Amino acid sequence: MMWVDYTIDQAGPHFTIKGDWPGEVMGWAADGNPDKKKENILYKPGDRFIVNESGWLMRCNPEDEKARAEAKQAESAE
């Protein structure tokens, strides 16, 4: 997915990405309601990322690792 028309605000080593409305990149609806989710989101509160050598932000949340391990275990049990 290609994200366009966003703004990156930086303060020291920290930054935020802003869309057309507050919360857009986190999947909130245009009316600001976080309970109405968009189909595609860039990130959500609590997400963790590591930047690889090519500059990609790679999501590395603990729940992602747990889900991968469970899927691998289920796959090997078949």
For residue 7, what pLDDT is reported? 92
The pLDDT of residue 77: 79
35 and 55 inside one domain: no
- Same-domain pairing of 36 and 52: no
Q: Which residue range forms the structural domain that includes residue 50? A: 46-78
Together in a domain, 17 and 52: no
Q: Same domain for 40 and 4?
A: yes
* Same domain, yes or no: 34 and 60: no
**What's the token pair of residue 62?**
């603990």
Residues 3 and 35 grouped into a single domain? yes
| DSSP label of 13 | T
pLDDT value for 3: 79
Looking at the fold, whether 2 and 38 belong to one and the same domain comes out as: yes
Q: Given this model, what pLDDT does residue 63 score? A: 83
> Which residues of the chain are modeled with pLDDT < 50?
none
Task: Say what the pTM is.
Answer: 0.65
Domain count for the chain: 2
CB 8, CB 16: distance < 8 Å: yes
Residue 12: per-residue pLDDT: 94
Cβ-proximal residues to 38 (8 Å cutoff; 6+ apart), any chain: 24, 27, 28, 29
State residue 69 phi and psi, 5-degree precision. -65, -40
